[in-house]
Amino acid sequence: MEENVRLILPIFFPIAAGIFLMAMPVFRKRRKLEEGIVTAVLAVQLLFVVSALMTDVTVTLWSITDSLALVFRADGISCLFGLLTASVWLLSGIYSISYMRHEKEETRFFGFYLIVEGVLIGLDLSANLITLYVFYELMTLTSLPLVLHEKSRQAIMAGLKYLFYSVAGAFLALFGIFFLSGVTTLEFCAGGALDSAVLGQSRALFLVAVFCMLVGFGAKAGMFPLHGWLPTAHPVAPAPASAVLSGVITKSGVLAVIRVVYFVIGPESIRGTWVQNTWIFLTLLTVFMGSMLAYREPVLKKRLAYSTVSQVSYILFGLGLLNATAFAGALSHIVFHSLIKNALFLVAGAVIVTTGWTRTDEMRGLGRVMPRTLAWYTVASLGLVGIPPASGFVSKWFLASGALESGTGVWSFAGPAVLLVSALLTAGYLLPLTVNGYFPGSDFRGEEIEERQLSGREPSARMRIPIVIFAAASLLFGCFPGSLIRFLESIAAAVM
């Protein structure tokens, strides 16, 4: 009984805390009390998540039939996503305490921020496809207020676009779930439990159903053609919300794809089929397209959103290769991209709060205003480009190696080529901010910086510390990746 409670506590604790926070009007007037409660809840939640991931039980919360039930269990994938979610939520939450003082409706933001974390942990601990789908839909509905937070016309339109894309993707996935429920168990099993012999004449429909699920769940991950919500939602959401949208919530689509391909149907069921080839093509198209759009985008947060479109499809590309090396590379990029992109979005928020600048062409001479913050931005940017010894180099090495080993024909060579071009484009849209920030040129006068007395104005410690931790972690994981890679390789060995 005690272990059962430990497993489900991190799901319902932050949800209850978020509802309590919004239901008590006293917190709207006592800001420091509210901020203290939010910090305490996030810190305790991290401990609850660690405790839950150490349990070895299966908890059935609700059941109608064996297949139609809400079931929770922790495994290796749960550990990876659960720890990442809880850690990112804590650091971004600490940042948001200072950032949200410049925004309205703090209580509503913090309430939904906590609720979404509980829903995401429920998603991470799901033990079957029904449970995953329920929490996947709940994640869309509960994260929508984070996008709508400003309540401006632009925010409302962005929120509706986020909702429509997410619902459309979820309906595509639901078709696949209906089909799979008739041919295999929906419970997660490493390597999948589908017996291809039972498909018979239904194999063609099976492949269509799987492809619908890949495209549907890929919507949350920003895969073409359902990627359009990302560059619309990120610029209007508060910076900490943009950070977790990019760093964690997009990964929920990746988690769903992993569960379907590697824990329900098994990779062998689609190896060499049109589904695998089309899936890889869509991921590489998204990688290139996202990088090109980011390169051409002048608004910093929107540029980072297009970057997320590209970078998350690195992960989907690795998963689509269906081999152990690429799978380990994809899992490592989940971690590294989350750390890096959180750092970059939090830097963007710090720049907006300090200077009011949103466009990259306004940020010439930024090194005079925020030299230390720009330094950590540079560290994170080098990681995303994949310059050794930053962590992005490690994950991209495994992805390229996995592609060359995969035996997938043209994709074995086209994949690494597209990743290389994307890395060059990534350098092209991230590093000019550093160059122009520190070396604005002899013709730069900086009148606005002098008039507004912006020189040397770094963000508050609560905003600065999470940025430093994220950026430093992205560098340290690149220097010392051994333990993480061995853990991810053990997961890959179990599902192949």
Closest CA to 399 of 338, 312, 473, 476: 312
Closest CA to 257 of 312, 217, 209, 222: 217
Q: pTM for this one? A: 0.94
Q: How confident is the model at residue 324 (pLDDT cuts 50, 70, 90)?
A: very high
Range in 51-65, 278-292, 306-320, 417-431 with the lowest mean pLDDT: 51-65
Question: Do residues 118 and 10 lie in contact, with contact meaning Cβ atoms separated by under 8 Å?
Answer: yes
C-alpha 347/C-alpha 467 separation (Å) is 7
Tokens representing 349?
Answer: 């928020």
The neighbour count for residue 5, using CB atoms within 10 Å, is: 13
Alpha carbon of 316 to those of 180, 224, 254: distances in Å? 21, 11, 7
Cis peptide before 14 (omega within 30 of 0): no
Closest CA to 88 of 203, 311, 219, 246: 246
Range in 4-18, 22-36, 44-58, 286-300 with the lowest mean pLDDT: 22-36
C-alpha 144/C-alpha 153 separation (Å) is 15
Given a cut of 80, whether residue 103 has pLDDT beyond it is no
Q: How confident is the model at residue 119 (pLDDT cuts 50, 70, 90)?
A: very high
Given a cut of 80, whether residue 1 has pLDDT beyond it is no
The neighbour count for residue 151, using CB atoms within 10 Å, is: 12
> With left for phi above 0 and alpha for psi between -120 and 50, is residue 409 left, alpha or beta?
left
CA 494 to chain centre: 24
| SS3 at position 482 | helix
Instruction: Tell me which residue has tokens 């600048």.
Output: 357
Question: Tell me, what's the pLDDT at 27?
Answer: 62
Given a cut of 60, whether residue 9 has pLDDT beyond it is yes
Tokens representing 477?
Answer: 């994981």
Closest CA to 261 of 325, 308, 318: 318
The pLDDT mean for the chain works out to: 90
Given a cut of 80, whether residue 25 has pLDDT beyond it is no
Could you tell me which residues come within 8 angstroms of residue 409 by beta carbon, excluding any fewer than 6 positions away?
none
DSSP secondary-structure letter at 270?
T
Closest CA to 279 of 324, 312, 319, 246: 319
Over residues 386-402, mean pLDDT = 93
For the chain, which residues make up each domain, given as ranges? Answer: 271-496
Question: Do residues 391 and 342 lie in contact, with contact meaning Cβ atoms separated by under 8 Å?
Answer: no
Given a cut of 70, whether residue 73 has pLDDT beyond it is yes
Per-residue pLDDT reduced to its tens digit, 346-393 = 999 999 888 888 888 888 888 888 889 999 999 999 999 999 999 999
